[in-house]
Structure 1
Amino acid sequence: MQELNEILKTIDSLIGGSQWFVLLLLGTGLFFTFYLKFPQIRYFRHALRVVRGKYDKDEDVGDTSHFQALATALSGTVGTGNIAGVALAVHLGGPAALFWMIMTAFLGMTTKFVEVTLSHKYREQAKDGSIAGGPMYYMKNALNLKWLAAIFAVATIISSFGTGNMPQINSIANSLESTFGFDKMFTGAVLAIILGFVIIGGIKRIAKVTEKLVPFMAVVYFIGALAVILYNIENIVPSIISIFADVFSGTAATGGFLGASLAFAFNRGVNRGLFSNEAGQGSAPIAHAAARAHEPVSEGLVAILEPFIDTILICTLTGLVLLSSGVWQEKIENKFQEADIVLLDGAYDDANPEDKVKLGDHLNQESQLPLFNGDLTVTEGRIQDAVTVIHARSVAEDVHVQISKQPYTGKVHVEDGMLKTGDKEIVLYGKSLMHSAPLTAEAFKRSFLGDYGQYIISIGLLLFAFSTAISWSYYGGRAVTYLFGSDAVKYYRVVYVLGFFLAAFTDTTIIWTLSGVAIALMTIPNLVGILMLSKEMKQTNQEYWEQFRSEWPDEKTPEPGAKLKSNA
């Protein structure tokens, strides 16, 4: 598992985890924000009117309403990114990472507007009569780059597993196991069966499910988060200050948190921001393509609302829960993830300022501490050698080794700091920092609800993540339709449900590393495509407002009344 994770981490460091990818993502959003004169601000109120159906026409073509398309797209984005992804970003980059998540969302509002508009403009009707759309169709029809469309479609299929499938069920299974003690395999089997029944019905059944799930789960989560924030109200102002205090310097070491550099906080914040709202990834345009509309810009306007709801509202709420409760820097008793364990040769103490700097530099990849190699001696569950166990980017304390839930005595082989347990089911427990869904669940305990708060995370995560998996099955199915025709979708759905089941009991760290790779593979061709169509996007937008003013002359618009030039 550790070797596989290291391979995936290397791939991720070259693409999704690299600075050039982050700059491409933010740069695209920044370019369109200025090029289209801040549409995320100017068009926001108009977008609310569109999603309510104020300007709909009876003859509009599509399978879903504006609201259903928004709900389906939101169900694809509001998921583990809002609960586990925010916790992972803060765990890796500290409070400053939350700032970069919010900035990614603000620029992502424009990116979503552009990609959804273009994809809706070039959508097609599939052989089965359903509406098919997405970036692959504008790549084929507008750019005449069928090879790029094929690359994107393949990446979408991969990402349907890496973004919408595996991280979702893995987070659900971990949460239900820690809260209720449910076996992960049992959870995976039950939810895989339910998933299969839902996705067989296609987009119309998916839309009916998501339009009911999304509002309900958002209200439940909001109430639970508010209970934490009010309980820790004295920490809110310091928490907000901490988000902005270290934006351009990195987050200093506090508590069990060993610090994060500016580059680390920036990269992880943007990366997790993308995982959360998917702006630029090209997934939401597939859902919006099915919406009933007589022209594309109106659906693009609806998409502006997604990153605002998903990240600026829900992710910020989660971030304030984590920061105000203080759990992000506390060491808590937990079961260690094998791929998240590193053993250093020698004893290091994070209470020692000098050691703390060395450990922080090591974890931020600014220097290298010696890794342990050889056999560990374990007696009655306790490691006898002079080693430092690093788990979840923190120095683990009170480490005990178990096999079949009993204290282990014997040898454990270690190579380059990684455990090599072979066929032995050896598990490490102890106190360390936590991340992902378990960290958010721990934060929800620090409220008026006490331990009952974790149930909100378990139930909320179940609804959030399951609805995400439903939506992504549709995205992957549309990519399969593009590549192989609608008849091949049934085979894809079988594999999708099977992967959903298996991921329930796969190592969490590997799942999240894979998600970073999958996101980048899908995002890069989409960003390249929309940049190539920037002039067409501007002209399409201008034509929309000219037509809108002629049809609704009494309606106040954010665009000036004079006719605009058609060329950029």
Structure 2
Amino acid sequence: MEGFMEQVMKVNEFVNNLVWGWPFLLLIFGTGIFLTAFTGFISFRKFGYIIRQTFFKIFSKDQVGEGEITAFQAVSTALAATVGTGNIAGVGTAIAIGGPGAVFWMWIAALFGMTTKYGEVVLSIKYREKTEDGRFVGGPMYYLTRGANMKWLAIVFAVFGTLATFGIGNMVQSNSVADSLNATFGINPLITGIVLAILVALVILGGIQSIGKVTEIIVPFMAAIYIIGGVSIILLNITLVPEAFGVIFHDAFTGSAATGGFVGSSIMLSVRYGVARGVFTNEAGLGSAPIAHAAATTDHPVRQGLWGVFEVFADTLVLCTITALVIVMTGAYDTGLDGAPLTTAAFEEGLAYGGYVVTFGLIFFAFSTLLGWSYYGERCMEFLFGPKSIIVYRLVYLPLIVVGSVGGLRAVWALADTLNGLMALPNLIGLLILSPVIVTLTKEYFGKGGIYEKEEKQK
């Protein structure tokens, strides 16, 4: 059995290098550039309007159209899954391997990823379906089937999506929480796992409406705590900000020299890890977030698509940037640490109780990810086997939270990153095939006589 697992891991390592290698990164990055240009740079030209329609309407109850949950509850559920350990550990890994310059390429990936996520959400609303019991379901499975007429590819996505939830959205997250609580407060990982499983069960048994109500409270709260902690460090070291940006921009085009505990990095590594970790944290192009957005109450696909732009902006250009600046400003990347320990060391260096900020950030980020990805898995499972299969999915998903907390099934964790990337392939194909639909709906909304023009006249 041990020999078999070694072979499986070798195959996985080979596939993982292909999935997260240059061909994939160029595909996902290229798709973002293509959609941005094809839509007339909509995420840039209308950015002010997008922020007014999203950030400034977070607590608005004035919803128009059909759906199960509010637009903000939908984006909260998506952000709950997106804003996770990637914002803490992922950024740390990108800088530790790719150097400070990786942050620049993370920003570039996010700028074009905003339109990728916009397109995903637009299509998820356009091709969503209403079930017999009144639920709204959508995502890549549905726009690949109904829009691109490629049901076989939709099935491929759903299979990868279902399997990925058990690793990246489940055991990896519960283990992060258990490790943090054990290291900081000495709490037994098994107890952490059981409590987490119970809390997740109480939320997900109520479906998307229950998940939406919880995440719309958790997401702003956890983001606020982390932002306050990070911004405090930045303000306390405000004179180092110009230097930090200088290092980031310089290393993005020259590579990083080896200093202290840092082994140095080439430009190619900087680009690769910046783009890869950027995609990993905001999930633009992976096809996961549109599954949550499909349940939103909205009167037009583009209106909900604006929340997709906001989602990437908030995740990468705000939260990840704060993490990156703290790491670079404090010089922690020079310690030889990697991932979450690197981010923790940076926060502890910059703030007396900075380590607690990261610990609580990991706890809330990971818990919210458990909620968001459970919903993704349910929808993928339902698409494959029907509504009754959701019960089976939950009976597997909840116990695995406990298994992950004590460090079990680590082989599945290794597969999770690969499966996560494989989800993107059918989704990107669907986005490219249906790009004319995205453009048509964008023109319908922003064009002459569209919703945008009417709203501007009413000001």
Q: TM-score normalized by structure 1?
A: 0.75
Is this contact kept in 2: 1:228–1:446, CA < 8 A?
A: no
125 and 311 in structure 1: CA distance in 2 versus 1, 3 angstrom threshold = same
Structure with max Cα Rg: 1
Instruction: Tell me, yes or no, if the aligned pair for 1:140 and 1:146 is still in contact at 8 Å.
Output: yes
Shift of 1:266: 1.5
Q: Does 1:141 align with 2:42?
A: no
Secondary structure of 2:169's partner? coil
User: Which whole-Å CA distance do the structure 1 matches of 2:39 and 2:252 have between them?
Assistant: 27
Within 5 Å, which residues of 2 pair with 1:91-170? 91-170=96-175
Q: Distance in 2 between matches of 1:188 and 1:58?
A: 37
Check 1:443–1:7 CA distance in 2 against 1; reply closer, same or farther (3 A cut).
farther
Query: Residue 236 in 1 paired to residue 137 in 2?
Result: no
State the partner residue of 2:295. Answer: 290
Q: Which runs of 5+ in 2 are unaligned?
A: none
Q: Is the CA contact (8 Å cut-off) linking 2:374 and 2:397 kept in structure 1?
A: yes
Q: How much has 1:167 moved relative to structure 2? A: 2.5
Distance 1:142 1:240 in 2: 43
Q: TM-score, normalised by structure 2?
A: 0.92
Which of 481, 487, 496 in structure 1 is aligned with 2:382? 481
1:178-217 aligned at under 5 Å gives the runs 178-217=183-222
**Residue 469 of structure 1, CA deviation:** 1.1
Question: Residues 6 and 325 (structure 1 numbering): CA distance in 2 closer, same or farther, change over 3 Å?
Answer: farther
| TM-aligned CA deviation for residue 109 of structure 1 | 0.3
Corresponding residue for residue 34 of structure 2: 31
Deviation at 1:458, TM superposition (A): 1.2
User: Is contact 2:445–2:452 with CA below 8 Å preserved after alignment?
Assistant: no
The offset of 1:5, in angstroms, is 5.3
Return the match for 2:23 from 16, 20, 24. Answer: 20
1:182: Cα distance to partner? Answer: 2.1
**Offset, 1:49:** 3.5
CA contact (8 A) 2:63 2:298 kept: no
Check the 8 A contact 1:168/1:466 in 2, yes or no: yes
Structure 1 portions without partners, runs of 5+: 331-432, 558-568
- 1:166 Cα deviation (Å)? 2.6
Identity over aligned residues, as a percent?
Answer: 44
Letter in 1 for 2:338: H
Give the CA deviation at 1:248. 2.9
Quote the Cα distance in structure 2 between the aligned partners of 1:229 and 1:511. Answer: 38
Q: CA offsets, 1:155-187, max 9 Å, x none?
A: 111222233223322222222222222222222
CA distance in 2, matches of 1:276, 1:551: 31
Indicate the SS of the match to 2:153: helix
Structure 1 residues 170 and 100 mapped into 2: Cα distance closer, same or farther (>3 Å)? Answer: farther
Higher normalized strand content (fraction of residues): 1
User: How far apart, in 2, do the equivalents of 1:326 and 1:58 lie?
Assistant: 46
1:261 aligns with one of 255, 258, 266: 266
Counterparts of 2:80 and 2:99, CA distance in 1: 27
Is 1:436 paired with 2:441? no
- Specify which of 4, 9, 14 is matched with residue 10 of structure 1: 14
Which has the higher relative contact order, 1 or 2, with Cα contacts under 8 A spaced 6 or more apart? 2
Q: After the TM superposition, which of the residue ranges 514-523 and 291-300 deviates more from structure 2? A: 514-523
Change (3 A) 1:139 1:547: farther
Describe how 1:462-541 pairs up with structure 2 within 5 A.
462-506=363-407, 513-541=414-442
Residue in structure 2 matched with residue 456 of structure 1 by the alignment: 357
Q: Which amino acid counterpart does residue 440 of structure 1 have in structure 2?
A: T
Q: Is the 8 A contact 1:75 1:214 kept in 2?
A: yes
Is the alpha carbon distance of 1:56 and 1:231 closer, same or farther for their aligned partners in structure 2, counting shifts above 3 Å?
Answer: closer
Say if 2:164 and 2:420, in contact at 8 Å, map to a contact too.
yes
- Label 1:224 to 1:138 Cα distance change in 2 as closer, same or farther (>3 A): same
Match of 1:248 in 2: 253
Aligned residues: 452
Aligned to 1:43: 46
- Name 1:63's counterpart in structure 2: 68
CA 1:547–1:177 in structure 2 vs 1: closer, same or farther (change >3 Å)? farther
Measured at CA, do residues 259 and 6 of structure 1 come closer, stay the same or move farther in structure 2, by a change above 3 Å? farther
Distance 2:455 2:77 in 1: 32
**What CA RMSD, in Å, does the superposition of the two structures yield over aligned residues?**
2.4
Q: How far does residue 314 in structure 1 lie from its aligned partner after superposition?
A: 0.5
Q: Secondary structure at the match of 1:281?
A: coil
Moved more, 462-471 or 51-60: 51-60
The verdict on how the C-alpha distance between 1:196 and 1:53 changes in structure 2, with shifts beyond 3 A counting, is: closer
Deviation at 1:547, TM superposition (A): 7.3
